[in-house]
Structure 1
Amino acid sequence: MKFMNKENEYTEEVSSLVWLWVLLFGMFYFAVKGVWRHVLISLILSMITLGISWLVYPFFAKGIMRKHYLRMGWVEVPE
């Protein structure tokens, strides 16, 4: 997936293996990408579920990243 900022035409690519990065690094992946809402949600859920949410969160990672960029006003670039 690629997203383009309409204001300055900067393009950011989200890896197709985003699920793997979230599985390996969990909330730290979201922190690097600047998705702070999901850093906090992931941290809270991992404490409540004793880490089991860390195994479930990767299934939603691609959608989370797509929604994050679209909410910021970026446009998805067709590949």
Structure 2
Amino acid sequence: MSPTKAAIAALIKASHTAGETEVWSTNLHGEAVIAQYVHMMDSVITGQRVTTFRVAVLKKRENGEWHVANNIIA
């Protein structure tokens, strides 16, 4: 069973040091979940809001917990 969008957003958020995460879509592919999401944060250098579109691959560990295995900026 794949994690909910809220659980995926929490896992992805934990992998970033700052900003907000909004999961757009998920796709179960075998033992992995592919999540498309937007990461938004305020830039200290420019003082503007920076939005990046990303893809994360989540995999299930042997103990059944999900983790972010790969995080790609698209």
With the shorter chain as reference, the TM-score category is: under 0.3
TM-score (norm 2): 0.26
TM-score (norm 1): 0.25
As a proportion of its length, which structure holds more helix? 1
Higher relative contact order (CA 8 A, sep 6+): 1
